[in-house]
Chains A and B, each alone.
Chain A
Amino acid sequence: EDKVVQSPLSLVVHEGDTVTLNCSYEVTNFRSLLWYKQEKKAPTFLFMLTSSGIEKKSGRLSSILDKKELFSILNITATQTGDSAIYLCAVDQGAQKLVFGQGTRLTINP
């Protein structure tokens, strides 16, 4: 059975800390891995990763994929309260479908 597992499920840190969110996957067909941020409503797109070892970066957020070990990490440096959200990892299997992990709920305390 295809599955995507995220860890930790919940994380509480202080503003200014650096966090690393993990996503591991076992799927029959891999095309890409996507990270989304979900605040109160719809998930919003952060990154799409298709190749191992190439870091994607956007401001304080970065992500990298390891296709040999079947995992990805999402790093957030110098966290701010606005980073509080659920972070979702999903794998595109190529059959036009995404398989989502359970999400990591990140809380940044001032």
Chain B
Amino acid sequence: NAGVTQTPKFRILKIGQSMTLQCAQDMNHNYMYWYRQDPGMGLKLIYYSVGAGITDKGEVPNGYNVSRSTTEDFPLRLELAAPSQTSVYFCASRQGGTGPYEQYFGPGTRLTVT
């Protein structure tokens, strides 16, 4: 199993540009998550999904959008990038059910907006 994969690894955006961060998992996990991690900080939840077609906002959703058309994929869209979105983005997944279950993390995407 590849686990949770993310692309790209690094990206530099200009202010106002848009991009999509890709996330995929091959563990047949129902639950998927997007976090951002700013320097010296813990992870903050952006969006999450409990299954295909179902998404919900986390703690810091402004400036982002998500979709979940398949179990495997959970892309994160940044519209009109701003310097405040400079961060490391992690995707995670966990199995469904009442749990508790650990989350498995992807390797991250380092995004710089200038």
Among B42, B48, B50, B102, contact of A102 (Cβ-Cβ < 8 Å): B42
Cβ contacts B24-68/A at 8 Å (1 or 0 each) = 000000010101000011111100101000000010000000000
Classify the secondary structure of A's interface with B.
strand
B19 vs chain A, min Cβ distance (A): 20
| Neighbouring A residues of B42 by C-beta, 8 Å | 4, 6, 88, 90, 100-103
- CB of B105 within 8 A of CB of A43, answer yes
- CB of A96 within 8 A of CB of B90, answer no
- CB of A98 within 8 A of CB of B103, answer yes
Cβ contacts B100-114/A at 8 Å (1 or 0 each) = 101111111000000
Cβ contacts A18-36/B at 8 Å (1 or 0 each) = 0000000000000110101
Q: How far is the CA of A6 from the CA of B43 in the complex (A)?
A: 13
- CB of A42 within 8 A of CB of B43, answer no
Binding site for A on B (CB under 8 A): 4, 31, 33, 35, 40-45, 48, 50, 58, 90, 94, 99-100, 102-108
Binding site for B on A (CB under 8 A): 4, 6, 9, 31-32, 34, 36, 41-45, 48, 50, 88, 90, 92, 94, 96-98, 100-103
Can you name 18 A-B residue pairings with CB atoms under 8 Å? A6-B42, A32-B99, A32-B100, A41-B107, A41-B108, A42-B4, A42-B106, A42-B108, A45-B103, A48-B100, A48-B102, A88-B42, A90-B42, A96-B48, A96-B50, A97-B33, A100-B42, A100-B43
